[in-house]
Amino acid sequence: MKYKILLTGSKKTIIDDLFTKSGSLFEYQSTSSRFEDIVSHLNSFRPNAFLYCLNHEAPESFLRMPELKKHPAAANTAFFAVGTRGECDTYTRTAPDVVNMVMETPITISAMEEKMKTYFLSLIKPAFVAPPLQMNAAAGSAVSNTNTPPVSGNAAPVPGAVSNPNPAPAAPAANTPVPPANTAKEPVPSKTAGAAQPQQAATPAAPAQPPKQQKAPAVPEDPNDALLQALTEHVGEAAKVIEAVENLPLLDEDGIDDSDDGTSRRKHILVVDDDSRMLKIIKRHLADKYDVATALNGRLALKFLETKKTDLILLDYEMPLENGPSILKKLKENPYTHDIPVIFLTGISDRQRIEKALVLKPQGYLLKPIDHIKLLSTISKLIG
């Protein structure tokens, strides 16, 4: 069985990765964020879940989500969201009681799919789960572990009970002496002339022990119970994997990774880009030579620099809300950050726009996709 997921939102990198890197358990379709388009896809695709991939969405786009949740086409559809903690909080505040599950970025595609799979498995509930069986120590028979009084007369056997053809004898009363197991007297050896053999006293046998309590086999009789048991174990393992992935030290809930805070002996670099994949690629290129912190936007970068130091800033030129030139201007105006070298990261290949960027006097610029050798060479010339 494949779970159908309908995707929308501005986080195109996640949407693209879901289509290209997903496992075999999910089938995806994408739609625009227009209400009519979503309803049309809900009717035609019949998804198990509607996943909103958040990336600086306008809060107004969430206002019709409660209406969409109540639409007949969404009657059997779960509502998920993936984004930063702030974006998810805005969604849930603007559209209360809509979202069934949120997933905070950064998060891998495999971790997202594990979370969604765990959610769907948690919806499977058994019709009835039989109480566990225990062995009655005195009678040697299987009984249900409930407070139901015993049924008199010819009661039907308990399902799953194990009959004992050789029931063990009842345990002796506390004040009743227990005879030795072997009542025959030991022969007394005869005395021979000149040497008297000492008579050995007969060793009494140990008293009979009451039969040990046994456990009934824990194999469910109902196939549905066996299926539930297997699913429960699977959900538990999946939860452990998800917890381990979520605890990886990538970006924190504010969208900034400050695990390397510039206090070590190596040179420190702050990378600012709204594309989390680009942040990870650059950090992987630089990790062997430098300490690297990353921020998903300029506001978070400025917040980072209020308490920590860096030797160089790699700054994305085009970003939503506040672009690279705007951030560079604020850095130049602040006496504490005025002298930090800045290199623009840009996909711009237009000469005029590059010249416009250079008027702001950055220490350099690099074109995307980033060339590994060029990146290290440019940084080395500036900070060693």
Q: What is the pLDDT of residue 370?
A: 84
Note the pLDDT tens digit of each residue in 61-96.
Answer: 899 999 999 999 999 999 999 999 999 999 999 998
Averaged pLDDT for residues 351-359: 73
Looking at every residue in the chain, the average pLDDT score rounds to 75
Q: What is the pLDDT of residue 100?
A: 94
Note the pLDDT tens digit of each residue in 255-279.
Answer: 555 554 444 568 999 999 988 888 9
Question: Contact, 46 vs 311, CB < 8 A?
Answer: no
Averaged pLDDT for residues 98-116: 93
Q: What is the pLDDT of residue 101?
A: 95
Ranked by mean pLDDT, which of 81-90, 216-225, 226-235 comes out on top?
A: 81-90
Averaged pLDDT for residues 131-136: 51
Spatial CA neighbour of 52 closest among 80, 88, 17, 29: 80
Report residue 164: phi and psi, to 5°: -115, 105
Q: What is the pLDDT of residue 24?
A: 83
Ranked by mean pLDDT, which of 17-26, 203-212, 220-229 comes out on top?
A: 17-26
Which of 130-144, 214-228, 308-322 is predicted with the least confidence, judged by mean pLDDT?
130-144
Q: What is the pLDDT of residue 227?
A: 59
User: What residues pair up with 360 in beta bridges, in sequence order?
Assistant: none
Averaged pLDDT for residues 14-39: 89
* 364: pLDDT strictly greater than 60: yes
Tell me how far apart the alpha carbons of residues 70 and 367 are, in angstroms, rounded to a whole number: 47
CA distances from 76 to 27, 32, 45, 73 (A): 16, 20, 12, 8
User: Which pair of tokens denotes residue 18?
Assistant: 């879901």
* 204: pLDDT strictly greater than 80: no
Q: What is the pLDDT of residue 215?
A: 52
Q: What is the pLDDT of residue 368?
A: 82
Which of 45-59, 65-79, 261-275, 310-324 is predicted with the least confidence, judged by mean pLDDT?
261-275
* 23: pLDDT strictly greater than 90: no
- In the chain, the domains with their CATH numbers are 3-122 (3.40.50.2300), 256-383 (3.40.50.2300)
- 315 Cβ contact list (under 8 Å, min separation 6): 272, 298, 301, 324, 327, 328, 342, 343, 344, 345, 362
Q: What is the pLDDT of residue 139?
A: 43
Q: What is the pLDDT of residue 276?
A: 87
% of the chain residues with pLDDT over 90: 33
Note the pLDDT tens digit of each residue in 233-250.
Answer: 655 555 554 554 444 444
Q: What is the SS3 assignment for the chain?
A: CCEEEEEEECCHHHHHHHHHHCCCCEEEEECCCCHHHHHHHHHHHCCCEEEEECCCCCHHHHCCHHHHHCCHHHCCCEEEEEECHHHHHHHHHHCCCCCCEEEECCCCHHHHHHHHHHHHHHCCCCCCCCCCEEECCCCCCEEECCCCCCCCCCCCCCCCCCCCCCCCCCCCCCCCCCCCCCCCCCCCCCCECCECCCCCCCCCCCCCCCCCCCCCCCCCCCHHHHHHHHHHHHHHHHHHHHHHHHCCCCCCCCCEECCCCCCCCCCEEEEECCCHHHHHHHHHHHCCCCEEEEECCHHHHHHHHHHCCCCEEEEECCCCCCCHHHHHHHHHHCCCCCCCCEEEEECCCCHHHHHHHHCCCCCEEEECCCCHHHHHHHHHHHHC
